[in-house]
Structure 1
């Protein structure tokens, strides 16, 4: 069993990135990864502009302007219309947006590897950039393993459970800017698992399996056959400690437990970092904040624990229950606290909080 830190290091060092690119119109680039460095071709604004409706002062003269108007050379300030009769003190450059105050010519607007958001588009559009080169979205497949799983498309039978893990993981993958290739199910059987993985690996950039990771289950045992290169198996995290990462036919596979909270938090802790590398996304330390804990809770003291909960802007409150088998916990949370080797987290103690991000 390896530490969470070591697992992340292995992911960073062993997982290959995708390289295929294409050119897309600007609006179609959202949720893609930029494949080139993009620089500003001109200053913004290229001339001083007024930030208010009012009277512009130019030496001993003045003239009326509207918000956004280009100002005459030598204009020193703009007095808003509503302040004209009460303006006793005027400062230089008051209500003026100066040349290059927003963007300077030659400024780096977007780096290769940046995830493109709606706000990334703002600066690009201001420069008249109509299309850019992006990395093609990767294809991810999900294989759920279990003898009692029922696809959402079918009527459930006695003793079965709907395969909610696959839908949740699929939605999270789509949120991150990747595409879903296939969502399949397999019985807890070595030959059937291998057959599915063989076919999925032919057209998938990444595969996520869920279930059958207990010691005597088929996926856990199949990992040690010749077809797999194991990068790690079992991580000191709670939940999701049985998680493994392997290479099968040159395709990386993240093997998650089947219990819902274990599966979903395991993907958050290990699947998202893997996905970012495969997508060619710039890897940065995930942003966290240290906040006060609202109510005492306990967790395991021999590993790194991901505790789902809700941050209200002031304090963090853990979910009422965060057992590995809980299903609906994350729907009521906006992130998790990462606790390292500590059993009791007291009220008002500071915890490290990570928000669930959309990429």
Structure 2
């Protein structure tokens, strides 16, 4: 077992375990939102499938309209119209125009379009007060070219990507199965919300914070309930967890006499590392139990969420073969000071906003037990070991993507 690792060393060991290949399932488009694509997608069609108009107006020959102006309008004879989906069957000749509407194919013989705002209809003719513009024609394949790959294996299916898949001609998509993530809470003091709260008790907030974070990261959370601080009870519940891709335990990984998760895993599994030089979340544990990866999270609410965000989320992204990173680092100007810690990388909670550039301010009390900082803060302020940040200095921030 390794101990007292840097954040970077710990993350590398976690990602090494994300080696499995998730099974693939095929879903209709309306059920694929938020899933991860399991194959490259090449367009089945050109889009548009022929030259079409980007505006409402009149399709005509550009050379017939070059002299058009408000003072000297050009008169053209309107020989028909072409709504979207109903192409004009004839050909535009000299001095002629066809009324076209956005998305309609450009009639044969026309090579430009004049905006309807620059015209006035007079019976069978139209007056043009500006020249027609060839740039208002969208060429065939301007958006999509048949056979070209636009979506990649590992892409998260956002609303725009779902629409793109539909535009390419796909009614169903192959996606990776959601990784099943067990969430096990420990501690005699932990009580389910709604139950009477005994003296010294705490409601089980971690299970539900982690439930949301697992969902947001693309996993399928499985609540395994709470077990007391008893090694046999912990081991029994772990054995009942069923098929999982990752197990999260909350609490029981520190150095106290009642921190039984670590002792159970040391005895019955393999602890890969314990303790990371970071704050909050130092007593993090990474282990295997009968081949199942186990991320032992600290019991304090902030520590639990921060460590899952940094390590568990990254594990799920790697398992899902996602093409986007699990988090991104930005630079912002500090509007409040942030205190570092000796020998530890620190993740303070902050509120990131744009005020003549990116700025970040503290959420206030930075105790790892103050869950409000994760409910209303929207970023982690990253401080290297032994380094404080003063007001006005530039600091690294990681946006918390699960916060609105």
TM beyond 0.5: yes
Alpha-carbon separation, structure 2, partners of 1:119 and 1:33 = 14
Give the direction of change, closer, same or farther, for the CA distance of 1:161–1:286 in structure 2 (3 Å limit): closer
**Is residue 62 of structure 1 aligned with residue 97 of structure 2?**
yes
Counterpart in 2 of 1:209? Answer: 249
Q: 1:131 aligns with which of 172, 179, 190?
A: 172
Q: Does residue 45 of structure 1 match 2:23?
A: no
- Aligned residue for 1:300, secondary structure, equals coil
* Structure-1 residue corresponding to 2:399: 355
Compute the displacement of 1:301 (Å). 4.4
Structure 2 residue corresponding to 1:21, chosen from 20, 24, 29: 24
SS at structure 2 position matched to 1:121? helix
Answer with 1 or 2: which has the greater Rg: 2
Look up the match of 1:92.
Answer: 134
Residue 11 of structure 1 and its aligned partner are, at CA, apart by: 1.9
Q: Is the 8 A contact 1:39 1:110 kept in 2?
A: yes
Contact 1:2-1:235 within 8 A present in 2 as well: yes
In the alignment, structure 1 residue 315 sits paired with structure 2 residue 359: yes
* Corresponding residue for residue 30 of structure 1: 33
CA drift at 1:312: 1.2
Deviations 1:39-90 (A, max 9, x none): 1122211112222211223243432211221212454332222234895565
1:258 matched to which residue of 2?
Answer: 299
Aligned to 1:329, the other structure's residue is in SS state helix
Runs of 5+ consecutive residues of structure 1 not aligned to the other structure: none
Q: CA RMSD in A?
A: 2.1
* Deviation (angstroms), 1:6: 1.2
**Distance between the aligned counterparts of 1:354 and 1:26, measured in 2?**
32
Give the conservation status (yes or no) of the 8 Å contact 2:313–2:326. no
Displaced runs of 4 or more, over 4 A: 85-91
* Shift in alpha-carbon separation, 1:10–1:52, aligned structure 2, 3 A: same
SS of 1:140's equivalent? strand
In the alignment, is the contact (CA less than 8 A) between 1:31 and 1:176 conserved in 2?
Answer: no
The reply on whether 1:220 has 2:284 as its aligned counterpart is no
The CA deviation at 1:272 is: 0.4
> How many angstroms does 1:118 deviate by?
1.7
Report the secondary structure of 1:100's partner residue.
coil
Q: Aligned pair count?
A: 356
- Aligned 1:284-295 pairs, distance under 5 A: 284=325, 286-295=327-336
Distance across 2 between alignment mates of 1:246 and 1:87:
75
Distance 1:327 1:310 in 2: 14
CA displacement at 1:20 relative to structure 2: 1.4
Q: Report deviation, 1:242.
A: 0.6
Q: Deviation at 1:96?
A: 2.4
Q: 1:79 to 1:354 in 2, by over 3 A?
A: farther
Distance 1:233 1:71, change over 3 A: same
Q: CA deviation at 1:121?
A: 0.5
Quote the Cα distance in structure 2 between the aligned partners of 1:211 and 1:291: 33
**CA distances 1:1-30 after superposition (whole Å, capped 9, x unpaired):** 111111121122223334211111111111
Given that residues 310 and 335 in structure 1 are in contact (C-alpha distance below 8 angstroms), is that contact kept between their aligned partners in structure 2?
yes
8 Å CA contact retained: 1:301, 1:340: no
The answer on whether the counterparts of 1:306 and 1:338 sit within 8 Å (CA) in structure 2 is: yes
**Are 2:60 and 2:132, in contact at CA under 8 Å, matched by a contact in 1?**
no
User: Cα 1:2–1:70, aligned 2, differ >3 Å: closer, same or farther?
Assistant: same
SS in structure 2 at match of 1:312: strand
1:143 aligned onto 2:184: yes
Once the two structures are TM-superposed, the CA of residue 108 in structure 1 deviates from its matched residue by 1.6
Deviation at 1:104, TM superposition (A): 1.9
Q: Indicate the SS of the match to 1:325.
A: coil
Q: Indicate how the Cα distance of structure 1 residues 186 and 39 shifts in structure 2: closer, same or farther if over 3 A, else same.
A: same
Contact 2:378 2:400 in 1 (8 A): yes
Task: Spell out the pairing of 1:151-300 with structure 2 (5 A cutoff).
Answer: 151-200=192-241, 202-216=242-256, 217-225=259-267, 227-282=268-323, 284=325, 286-300=327-341
2:373 aligned residue: 329
Question: Does 72-81 or 271-280 show the bigger shift?
Answer: 72-81
User: In the aligned structure 2, how far is the partner of 1:305 from the partner of 1:146?
Assistant: 26
Partners of 1:77 and 1:322 lie apart in 2 by 63
